Homo-oligomer: A and B are copies of this chain.
Amino acid sequence: MSKFDVVIIGGGPGGAKAARVLADGGASVAIVESAHWGGVCLNCGCIPTKMLLGATAPQGLLHGLERQRVAKGTIEVDYDALQKRIQRFTRGSAQALTKGLEQAGVALFNGHARCTGAHHVEVLADDGTVSATLEARRIILAAGSRSAAFPGLRPDNDAILDSTALLAIPAVPASLIVVGAGAIGLEMADFFNAMGTKVTVVEAAPHIAPTEDADIAAEMQKLFGKKGITCISGVKAASLLTRGDQAVLTLEDGRELFAEKALVAVGRVPNTENLGAEKADCGLNPRGFVSVNEYLMASPTVYAIGDVNGQTLLAHAAEHQGTYVARHILEMEQAPYNSGPVPSCVYGSLEIMRVGITERQALAEGGEIGVSSAQLMTNAIAQAGGDACGFVKVVWQNGKVAGIAALGHGVSHLVTVAQLLLLGQYCGERLHHFMFAHPTLDEILHTALEAPPKKIG
């Protein structure tokens, strides 16, 4: 039995960050990872998708310039070489991560971890035998999530794939159905479209990018359409099956769609079945996520961070929570956890970024709501890039900036500026108090913050 101040279950962004902060703070820490160090984000999530999209980025830019008739050309992406490069990079990053943790004095365990009590964690080897037993003052659950599957919408690893399998697909399919138009679905649609795949996106919600406002989604769907991506929304999938060597999607309205492959990207479920959370006096909510209080505590001795608590399924939310929990354990934080405004992006040749709340959320919350906006075509840097479609919108609530969102080429570059402008409530008089660099894409945020808000609702 090895004793630690803290045992962390899960070596993804949240767990690794907590481990590092705790170790730097003088705590003795163990961390257990069952699959890949760096978690979904590094190995089959944010990072590999960004590297795919990075490889098709010149093409996206070139197309914008081609429409302006100032450039033409051909670009060929070597898909095999790209896959190998991604593997090299993620492997190297995982090694850097574990090396950094080891150097900080963290004890690393490979295996599946489960709680056996309020202070105890067992590590199981691949063959199911117990390879280590750990005792801790505090346990942090950071076990993450995996792709959801529903009856009728279940990857079969034949023609029906989840995002992990699609990321590792050995050859670019001729056609692809994407079920679910959240960030993962949209990014995959964009990449494979750029690679020449005929892509159809299907979303059960009234519009694609269902967590965003309808105006953002409508513009994205229009611009995706110009790229040749078909979007169908507001219709549920009745079934998705491999028939022969094809994926066949039957919609509830009776339509049938066929493609070489289909991606199921209809959400994520927490890795809580064999976590032993109940043995550590933790409760799960009806969707299987670990319930936590305002300190992200699931029990007096157990914290849960990242996807596994279901609050915000984003790598940087996990990191932020991991930092908070580590500092709470180190008694460097006393206040309840406050996420602050949450930034999020959809990346690709056409991007969405948002910080804070949507117009829809603001209307639901109430107060005096307004929206001000600015078109990217008025921005010189957007114009210089060739493709200046899209816009920025600022959501105002009782005279304060409550959310900033954007749709267009390269707008993921705006997310941290928007975050800091929102946090600092840089509007009105305060906008004059610093020098805004010119020419930058960032200036479009300034323009939108200066534009008179239209009252909504």
B residues less than 8 Å from A317 (CB atoms) = 435
Copies of this polypeptide in the complex: 2
Chain A's interface size range is: 35 or more
Given A316-B435, A384-B50, are A81 and B69 neighbors across the interface (CB < 8 Å)? yes
Contact indicator B419/A383 (Cβ below 8 Å): no
Instruction: Tell me, yes or no, whether A73 is within 8 Å of chain B by CB.
Output: yes
At the interface, yes or no: A190 with Cβ under 8 Å from chain B?
no
Asked if A58 and B61 sit within 8 Å, CB to CB, the answer is yes
The one of B13, B70, B417 in contact with A55, judged by C-beta atoms closer than 8 angstroms, is B70
Asked if A434 CB lies within 8 Å of chain B CBs, one says: yes
A99 to chain B, nearest CB (A): 13
Chain B residues contacting A413 (CB-CB under 8 Å) are: 413, 440-441
Query: Which of the residues B58, B381, B441 comes within 8 Å of A58, measured between beta carbons?
Result: B58
Bound-complex Cα distance A267 to B51 (A): 41
The 8 Å CB contact of A420, one of B73, B383, B417, is B417
Q: Does A226 contact B (CB under 8 A)?
A: no
Contacts of A93 on B, CB cut-off 8 Å?
380
Residue of chain B at shortest CB distance from A318:
B438
Which of A228-236, A279-287, A337-345 is near enough to bind chain B? Answer: A337-345
B-contacting residues, A394-442, CB 8 Å: 412-413, 415-417, 419-421, 423-424, 426, 432-442
The answer to whether A419 and B434 have CB atoms under 8 Å apart is yes
Contact B70 A78 (CB under 8 A): yes
| B residues less than 8 Å from A82 (CB atoms) | 70-71
Asked if A316 and B417 sit within 8 Å, CB to CB, the answer is no
